Amino acid sequence: MSKILVTGGAGFIGFHLSSRLLARGDEVAGLDNLNDYYDVNLKLSRLKQLESRDKFRLHKMDLSDRDGIRRLFENEKFDYVVNLAAQAGVRYSIINPYSYIDSNIVGFVNILEGCRHNGVKHLVFASSSSVYGANTKMPFSVHNNVDHPVSLYAATKKSNELMAHVYSSLYGLPCTGLRFFTVYGPWGRPDMALFLFTKAIKEGKPIEVFNYGKMRRDFTYVDDIVEGVVKLIDHLPVPNPEWSGDAPDPATSYAPYRLYNIGNNNPVELETFITCLEDCLGRKAVKKLLPIQPGDVPATYADIEDLEKEIGFRPATPIAQGIGKFVEWYNKYY
């Protein structure tokens, strides 16, 4: 049994991860500020599920609260930290950029400092497929440079990877960054396409289909994401003896630092995604076809070779099965 801090504990992935860790016997401290970026009632419903379990407690706090985070780490002495808390959303970063700096940059350095000063064995943190930005070589590999983000959200996630490397290099803090690819499933975020589409189709309203339905996404079911995270918590990164500054590998280091993609390794066109959803709902969508939005990328596709090699795991939930589970949850919850 370990004591694990999960930031963003009332969030979509944080809720599922906390449930999984509690099921295997870990003590879980959730941290969340319960902000109103989306429906707080959904977050409270997730928390109600978690708080009915032994060995879970919530700390309502903002990541940017330097003194609060410092005291939390000093008092609790966590074994492991999984940082999932962040201001999410590519499009919202165009509207409200400052919230991304407060949560994703200031908040992350507070987490790094807490880990550094309190003997945390391993920091696992959420990055994002959005860091690939203007890259077009596919599948996206963690061994390729990602220096051309197209949204501030992506830039903050790239910054997190760089900040973690500094702490790994200077202080020997083992850090693993995980680039998640379009996560979906039960209890998902209401600002994500699957949730928005389901709600609109059930209400007979049109859905906004960007890039005229030609977007391709490596949709990854949440249980697959969580399984990868749990396996990697216990898989501490070690220095790469072959790392060279003459040809630096972005995914590894001379320090205990590692980056992985967690994606389904099977990009699906948005039109196909919508067809699967229509089949599950038994209703046709009214589509409003629109051009691609600023900050979006036309396609994502994860190279997961390293994930398979290191922990013997690859996401495998078919899109139709995953959408079916989401629709089943949505109908029950609402």
Residues 63-74: tens digit of each pLDDT:
999 999 999 999
CB 182 within 8 A of CB 269: no
Confidence bin at 181 (pLDDT 50/70/90): very high
pTM score > 0.75 for this model? yes
Strand extents, DSSP E, 33-121: 56-60, 80-83
Which long-range CB contacts under 8 A does 51-58 form with residues at least 24 apart?
53/19, 53/22, 54/22, 55/22, 55/25, 55/26, 55/27, 55/28, 56/18, 56/22, 56/28, 56/29, 56/30, 57/29, 57/30, 58/9, 58/10, 58/29, 58/30, 58/31, 58/32
Known catalytic residue at 153 = yes
Instruction: Please give the average per-residue pLDDT across 98-108, as a whole number.
Output: 95
Instruction: Please give the average per-residue pLDDT across 140-145, as a whole number.
Output: 97
Half-sphere exposure of 75 (CA within 13 A, CB side): 8
Which one from 153, 221, 260, 330 is the annotated catalytic residue? 153
